[in-house]
A and B are shown apart, each in its own frame.
Chain A
């Protein structure tokens, strides 16, 4: 039984479910309760012990079917540790390994391709070389990303505010039962949640590489932040981006996102976000940042409606469009024009300086207001 459970745990891990040893042990205990004779019992016992979010359920179903068939035919998967990560096309998110050494022009080439930091800060991401992406990592590490402050409902000791019985009484004990000093508590200030929705469709390809790094830097900075990729569908990638190593994090995100550099249905992706996450609370009072060029092949009415919903929920909506930096660009066409009335701040995000500007916009309250 244990061997079967361990084997199943491995199948699940390969399928992408966080089936750690503790859960496997729990599964063994569950099997002791329900037995292994009935397929249904084993199925439900495994589902209750291994899954922890609705996304797991589909993966679990497929893995279970494969596992049960194998087990019924008496063949358990070999115990040897196979490499569990699937092969991914890293190229879209990871710069190619440095080829400088083999370059016939040697050092010269490095100098030519490398821009000093000051130049780099204002250089358009679309023109970045692979080495400059490496440099960007260092720049991003220093970028502070934190949502505008709001009053939390949690109280903390303060000079004025609500009367604090607990601490007043404590003090009173020290002064013979006389409350000489009155203590108070007041709401604490807390950064708002930041939600980043990054368009990863083909038309954004030149920028999404840098912007995904921005998302990654935000996630690992420990700020209250959620990251999503928008293509033909919506994928939550906060968890995938949590690895400190950017290459690993981005390749994991690429694994999770099946439609990298595909088409966009901005309206549909936004709708999925508001339906599944936003309305339930993730967008409520948050700073929502949409990073997209606003190309939408879907129905613009959908996008307009979803932007209106989002605007009602969010504290602040920021739209980052790399095209804005292009000379003569006017947000008149398509999705961008439909969305703009619901946007509080409209930024470009095509180079590092504009990302700094974005970080400021995320952290500032509306009263300090920089309206679009």
Chain B
């Protein structure tokens, strides 16, 4: 099997020293991102096949983080498009610079250069007066490596925008009536995230490689905490990770994600904590559990109950 067939033509991204998912996993780790084998394989394939990577999962499991680490790893800009309801082409792709256009008209008038109307109009609607929004920026980028394009929370945009996105992701080009077609030199590395507030259309998903990110396991979460909050000691990191795992089992409306784990650890470190105790948890609970009902659910049986499960729930002995 020829493993390296026609990458050039498809424009897959080659990383020196990375020839399989395992090596990518190690590389990601060096950039402070811990991916399991599945995610590493999905990212690896997305780069080699130059396919958009579609990431779904609970809020706070590190979907956006994937795009950020890729941009660091590839040493290329991260271009971010935050989706929201009502987003349209003018906010996502391009917008004319009206103020400058008006000024140009006035100047032309003053100089009496406005005679050749057709030429003048063409000038007015040229690339010069175009403001590039994220998608156009990504397509126009020229450099040794393609940029990373993060299309964040695509589920917040509406169907019309999705259809438009599908078009762009199919041929990595966009046509602006007055200017013409602008094509990407190399397809950008596209990461699309969704919180699943609604089902994104199949046609869009079919263009992508799909990965569902789970909450990390206890051991992995300890590693993440140690890696991202170096100020936290081993004992604190293990306790925090164990407590978060317990909280996720408590049937909360908003179970804490990795982002909350890190916030919490940072809060604890700021309070100079070496290990968890009741007062500390009480004081910092708001940084990990963010709904009033959820806080009540944690406090009702008593914080010491949570701590006893943290210390006696087999979490401590899980180290191998």
* A residues neighboring B (CB under 8 Å): 1, 18, 20, 22-23, 26, 29-30, 32-36, 40-41, 44-45, 47-49, 51-54, 57, 152-155, 165-166, 169, 172-173, 176-177, 238, 275, 279-282, 284, 309
0/1 interface trace, chain B 117-134, chain A, CB 8 Å (1 if under): 000010010000000000
Return the contact of A34 from the options B20, B109, B210 (Cβ within 8 A): B20
Provide 25 A-B residue pairs closer than 8 Å at the C-beta atoms, listed in order of the A residue. Answer: A20-B206, A32-B5, A33-B45, A33-B48, A34-B21, A34-B45, A40-B37, A44-B42, A47-B211, A48-B38, A48-B209, A52-B202, A53-B199, A152-B158, A153-B84, A155-B86, A169-B101, A169-B102, A173-B121, A177-B102, A279-B253, A280-B196, A281-B197, A281-B198, A284-B197
B85 touches A32 (CB 8 A): no
Q: Given contacts A34-B20, A44-B37, are A281 and B155 in contact (CB under 8 A)?
A: yes
Distance from A232 Cβ to chain B, minimum over Cβ atoms (Å): 18
Q: List, in ascending order, chain A residues with CB within 8 A of B218's CB.
A: none
* B residues neighboring A (CB under 8 Å): 1-3, 5, 20-21, 37-38, 41-42, 44-46, 48-49, 51, 54, 56, 84-86, 88, 90, 96, 98, 101-102, 105-106, 108-109, 114, 121, 124, 155-156, 158, 160, 195-199, 202, 205-206, 209-212, 253
The 10 closest A-B pairs by CB, nearest first: A281-B197, A153-B86, A44-B41, A177-B105, A48-B42, A52-B205, A280-B197, A154-B86, A48-B209, A165-B98
Return the contact of B96 from the options A154, A169, A176 (Cβ within 8 A): A169
Q: List, in ascending order, chain B residues with CB within 8 A of A279's CB.
A: 253
Distance from B54 Cβ to chain A, minimum over Cβ atoms (Å): 8
A172 touches B3 (CB 8 A): no
Return the contact of B206 from the options A23, A34, A45, A154 (Cβ within 8 A): A23
What separation, in Å, do the CA atoms of A245 and B37 have in the docked complex? 43
Q: List, in ascending order, chain A residues with CB within 8 A of B197's CB.
A: 280-282, 284
Q: How many A-B pairs fall under 8 Å by CB?
A: 117
Q: List, in ascending order, chain B residues with CB within 8 A of A284's CB.
A: 197
B41 touches A48 (CB 8 A): yes
B206 touches A177 (CB 8 A): no
Return the contact of A30 from the options B38, B49, B158 (Cβ within 8 A): B49
- In the complex formed, the residue of B with least CB distance to A44 is B41
Q: Given contacts A154-B158, A280-B197, are A49 and B209 in contact (CB under 8 A)?
A: yes
What separation, in Å, do the CA atoms of A110 and B22 have in the docked complex? 70
- In the complex formed, the residue of A with least CB distance to B56 is A54
- In the complex formed, the residue of A with least CB distance to B54 is A52
Q: List, in ascending order, chain B residues with CB within 8 A of A155's CB.
A: 86
Return the contact of B21 from the options A18, A44, A51, A153 (Cβ within 8 A): A44
Return the contact of B3 from the options A22, A33, A48, A166 (Cβ within 8 A): A33
Chain B CB within 10 Å — which of A33, A47, A52, A177 has the most?
A: A33
- In the complex formed, the residue of B with least CB distance to A187 is B86
What separation, in Å, do the CA atoms of A52 and B42 have in the docked complex? 13
A34 touches B41 (CB 8 A): yes
A177 touches B114 (CB 8 A): yes
Q: List, in ascending order, chain B residues with CB within 8 A of A48's CB.
A: 38, 41-42, 45-46, 209-211
Distance from A33 Cβ to chain B, minimum over Cβ atoms (Å): 5
Known: A177-B102, A309-B253. 7 other contacts (CB 8 A): A29-B49, A44-B41, A51-B210, A52-B205, A173-B105, A177-B106, A281-B195
Distance from B114 Cβ to chain A, minimum over Cβ atoms (Å): 7
Distance from A150 Cβ to chain B, minimum over Cβ atoms (Å): 11
B37 touches A33 (CB 8 A): no
- In the complex formed, the residue of B with least CB distance to A274 is B253
Q: Given contacts A26-B51, A32-B5, A33-B45, are A172 and B105 in contact (CB under 8 A)?
A: yes
Q: List, in ascending order, chain A residues with CB within 8 A of B21's CB.
A: 34, 41, 44
- In the complex formed, the residue of A with least CB distance to B10 is A29
Chain B CB within 10 Å — which of A275, A279, A280 has the most?
A: A280
